[in-house]
Amino acid sequence: MINKWFKHIGLVIALLFSAVCLANGGDELATQVQQSDAQIWAQLKDGAQGYTTSQSEFHAQPINTYDLRVLALRSDWLAPALMAALFGMIIIFVLFIKVNGISKLHHGFSGKLVHRWSKFDVSIHWLGAIPCLLLILTGLTLLAGRFFFQPWLSAGIWEAIVYGAKQIHDVMAIPFMIGWALMTTLWAKNQLPKMYDVKWFLVVGGYINFGPFKGKHPDAGFANAGEKMWFWAFALFGLVISASGMLLLFPNLFEPSRTLSLIALVLHSVSAIVICAFSIVHIFMATVMSEGGMECMVSGYCDENWATQHHNLWYDEIKANGTLKYKE
C-alpha cells in the first residue's frame, strides 16, 4: 500500500518537474520554432526546389509565388477597379446630367420616323446587350463581392448569391459571344474612322449645354465618333474577354497550362473593367442623355429631327441616294 502511494507521489513530482521545465524553456522553444518556420517560408518563397512524383508544370516547386502575386493583383486592384467602373461611371453621369442637362432636340419631335436599323440588327443588339449586363453584374459579384458585399450578408445568403451568379455567368457567356461576333462582323463597315470625327471630339459631340460648346452639332455619319470608339473598344476587349472566357469555361477542352489560366483570368478581368465603363456611358447616352435616342434600338426607327441633328451626313446620304424610308 505504501509502495503504491510512493508511486503516485513520484508520478506527481515528475509531472510537476516536467511542467516547470516546459515553462522555463517554452519561450526559447517557441522562438526556435518561429525562426525555423521563417527560414523555411523564406526558402519556399525564393523558389526552393523539392522532389515529388507529380508531373505537373510546377512539380518541383513547393509554392508557386507567381500564383500568389496574380491573385493579389486580382483582389487588390482589379476588384476595386471593376466596382469603380460600374458605380463610379454611374455617379459621374448622374452629376454630369445634373449640371449639364440632357441633349434635347432643338426642333422637337417631327413625328416622322426614319428607318435606321433592321429587325435583325435590333435582335443581335439585344442578343449581346442583355447577356453583357448580366455578365457585368454577376462578374462583379464573383470578382469583388467577397470584399464589398459578403461582410453584410449571412453565410447562407452569400453562398446562394455566389452559386446563382456563377450559373448565370456561365450560361450567358455563349449568347454574349454570339452577339459580339455578329455585331463586330456586320457593323464594322459603318464604324470606320473619318476626318470629321476629330471635330466631333473637339466639341464633345455637341452634348455640352454651356460655354463655347453650347449649340454645336458636329458632322456625323451613320455612327458618330463616340459610337465608333465604343464599337472598337467592344470589338477588341470583347475578343479578349471571349477568348479568355472560353479557356476558363472549358479547361478540359483546351487544357491550358496553369500560367495561361492565370493570365486569362487577369485579361478577362481587365477587359471586363473596360467594357463595363464603356457600357455605362453607352447606356446613359442612349436612354437619358440623347432625347429620342432609345427609339433606335426599340423599333429600329429614329425621329427625322434626331437624324438631322445627330447624324446629318448619314441622313443627307440616304436622302440623296433614295434609300430614305419612313415608318408607315
32 versus 94: which is more confidently predicted? 94
Q: Are residues 173 and 201 in the same domain?
A: yes
Domain of residue 128: give its range: 65-320
The confidence score (pLDDT) of residue 224 equals 95
pLDDT tens digits, 196-221: 999 999 998 988 888 888 878 899 99
* Band of pLDDT at residue 254, cut at 50, 70 and 90: confident
Q: Packing angle between helix 258-284 and helix 89-100, nearest 10 degrees?
A: 20
Q: How many domains does the chain have?
A: 2
When the pLDDT of each residue in the chain is averaged and rounded to a whole number, the result is 85
Q: Are residues 7 and 106 in the same domain?
A: no
3-state secondary structure of 51: coil
Q: Are residues 86 and 115 in the same domain?
A: yes
User: Is residue 33 situated within a structural domain?
Assistant: yes
* Band of pLDDT at residue 55, cut at 50, 70 and 90: low
* Band of pLDDT at residue 31, cut at 50, 70 and 90: low
Q: Are residues 102 and 170 in the same domain?
A: yes
* Band of pLDDT at residue 74, cut at 50, 70 and 90: confident
The alpha helices in the chain, defined as continuous H runs, are 2-45, 65-73, 79-83, 89-100, 119-148, 155-187, 196-202, 225-249, 251-254, 258-284, 296-299, 304-310, 312-320
CA pair distance 63, 65, nearest whole angstrom? 6
At residue 87, does pLDDT exceed 50? yes
3-state secondary structure of 328: coil
Express as a percent the part of the chain with pLDDT over 90. Answer: 58
Of 309, 109, 116, residue with least CA distance to 219 = 309
Q: Are residues 75 and 38 in the same domain?
A: no
SS (H, E, C) 95-128: HHHHHHCCECCCCCCCCCEEECCCHHHHHHHHHH
At residue 153, does pLDDT exceed 70? yes
At residue 179, does pLDDT exceed 80? yes
Q: How far apart are the first and last CA of the chain?
A: 116
29 versus 258: which is more confidently predicted? 258
Residues whose CB falls within 8 Å of the CB of residue 303, separated by 6 or more in sequence, listed in order: 105, 109, 110, 111, 112, 113, 114, 292, 295
Query: Which residue is listed with cell 525555423?
Result: 36
CA pair distance 290, 13, nearest whole angstrom? 90
40 versus 278: which is more confidently predicted? 278
The confidence score (pLDDT) of residue 9 equals 45
At residue 30, does pLDDT exceed 80? no
User: Is residue 58 situated within a structural domain?
Assistant: no
At residue 4, does pLDDT exceed 60? no
Most confident option among 97-106, 145-154, 203-212, 227-236: 227-236
User: Is residue 289 situated within a structural domain?
Assistant: yes
At residue 10, does pLDDT exceed 60? no
At residue 97, does pLDDT exceed 70? yes
User: Is residue 56 situated within a structural domain?
Assistant: no
User: Is residue 299 situated within a structural domain?
Assistant: yes
* Band of pLDDT at residue 144, cut at 50, 70 and 90: confident
The confidence score (pLDDT) of residue 226 equals 95
CA pair distance 297, 233, nearest whole angstrom? 20
The CATH number of residue 183's host domain is 1.20.950.20
Burial class (CB in 10 A: 0-12, 13-18, 19+), 16: exposed
The confidence score (pLDDT) of residue 44 equals 65
The confidence score (pLDDT) of residue 148 equals 84
Its pTM stands at 0.79
Q: Are residues 108 and 7 in the same domain?
A: no
User: Is residue 327 situated within a structural domain?
Assistant: no
pLDDT tens digits, 101-132: 998 998 899 999 999 999 999 999 999 999 99
C-beta atoms surrounding 214 within 10 Å: 11
* Band of pLDDT at residue 257, cut at 50, 70 and 90: confident
3-state secondary structure of 301: strand
At residue 22, does pLDDT exceed 60? no
